């Protein structure tokens, strides 16, 4: 039995660990071809993207630098304000760099649309997005996302980096949290 057996706390498994790893291999092959000869920088958005960054970076066939950003929405007390605060900035100068932002999930799209604009204003040569998960029905703004793992329904999902109250990030699959856990 897995140490993270949470079958009584979820309703459905949406994406299994095996499906994630297979998709990461596919996308890593595409990225490797698309960025051939270019100086690629991966940027992960803490904390959710830790798992996808770790596995995706290791699926790439060459060494690649990684940097990290921590942001949070603020202003209205909800995530929907679209106002983003930088809690930890990058250590890397983006000028003339080819940046690939690695995200666990696009929900409303507000975080990424702010980040894209912010990175472009720093003089990056290119800025693209890889999001493992996307909830099309939750979109508030359109985000130009070059690489997408899986489109999923607009449910409360946890696992593979995604949390509820800082729990479940180390669950290996992506699953729908049972309402009794948060209601
Ligand atoms: C999640 C996720 C994205 C963002 C997506 O992060 O990792 O960064 O929300 O939501 P949006 O499309 O509606 O902007 P969260 O703020 O929950 O922080 P975490 O990664 O530390 O869990």
- Closest residue by Cα to atom 6, ligand 1, is 48
What is the whole-number distance in angstroms between the Cα of residue 86 and the centre of ligand 1? 13
* pLDDT the model gives residue 1: 45
Q: Specify the CATH number for the domain of residue 117.
A: 3.40.50.2020
Where does the chain have alpha helices with state H? 17-34, 50-59, 110-121, 179-182
Any domain includes 9 = no
161 lines ligand 1 (CB under 6 A): no
Any domain includes 73 = yes
* pLDDT the model gives residue 109: 95
Q: Which residues touch 70 (CB under 8 Å, ≥6 apart)?
A: 45, 46, 47, 86, 87, 88
Any domain includes 8 = no
Domain count of the fold of the chain: 1
Any domain includes 97 = yes
Expressed as residue numbers, the domain containing 115 is 17-157
115 lines ligand 1 (CB under 6 A): no
107 lines ligand 1 (CB under 6 A): yes
- Closest residue by Cα to atom 20, ligand 1, is 48
Is residue 93 classed as helix, strand or coil in its secondary structure? coil
**Position in ligand 1 atom list of the atom nearest CA 80:** 13
Any domain includes 77 = yes
* pLDDT the model gives residue 19: 98
Best residue for ligand 1 mutational test, from 46, 48, 70, 182 (most atoms within 8 Å of Cβ): 48
Any domain includes 11 = no
Per-residue exposure over 28-52, b if at least 16 CB sit within 10 Å of its own CB, e if not? beebeeebeeeebbbbbbeebbbbb
Alpha-carbon distances of 174 from 3, 37, 69, 113, rounded to whole Å: 16, 34, 23, 24
101/119 Cα distance (integer angstroms): 10
118 lines ligand 1 (CB under 6 A): no
Cβ count near 108 (within 10 Å): 17
What is the whole-number distance in angstroms between the Cα of residue 37 and the centre of ligand 1? 31
Any domain includes 53 = yes
Any domain includes 31 = yes
pLDDT one digit per residue (tens) for the chain, 183 residues: 455 679 999 999 999 999 999 999 999 999 999 999 999 999 999 999 999 999 999 999 999 999 999 998 765 445 566 778 999 999 999 999 999 999 999 999 999 999 999 999 999 999 999 999 999 999 999 999 999 999 999 999 999 999 999 999 999 999 999 999 998
């Amino acid at each position: 039995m897995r140490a993270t057996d949470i079958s009584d706390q979820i309703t459905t498994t949406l994406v299994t660990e095996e499906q994630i790893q297979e998709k990461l291999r596919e996308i890593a092959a595409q990225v490797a071809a698309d960025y051939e000869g270019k100086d690629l920088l991966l940027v992960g958005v803490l904390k959710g993207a830790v798992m996808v960054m770790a596995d995706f970076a290791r699926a790439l066939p060459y060494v690649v630098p990684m940097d990290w950003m921590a942001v949070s929405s603020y202003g209205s007390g909800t995530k929907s304000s679209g106002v983003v605060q930088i809690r930890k900035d990058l250590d890397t100068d983006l000028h003339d760099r080819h940046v690939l932002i690695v995200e666990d999930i696009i929900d409303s799209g507000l975080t990424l649309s702010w980040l894209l604009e912010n990175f472009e204003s720093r003089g990056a040569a290119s800025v693209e997005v890889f999001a493992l998960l996307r909830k099309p029905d939750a979109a508030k703004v359109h985000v130009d996302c070059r690489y997408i793992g899986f489109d999923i329904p607009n449910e409360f999902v946890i696992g593979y980096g995604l949390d509820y109250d800082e729990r479940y990030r180390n669950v290996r699959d992506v699953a729908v949290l049972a309402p009794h856990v948060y209601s």
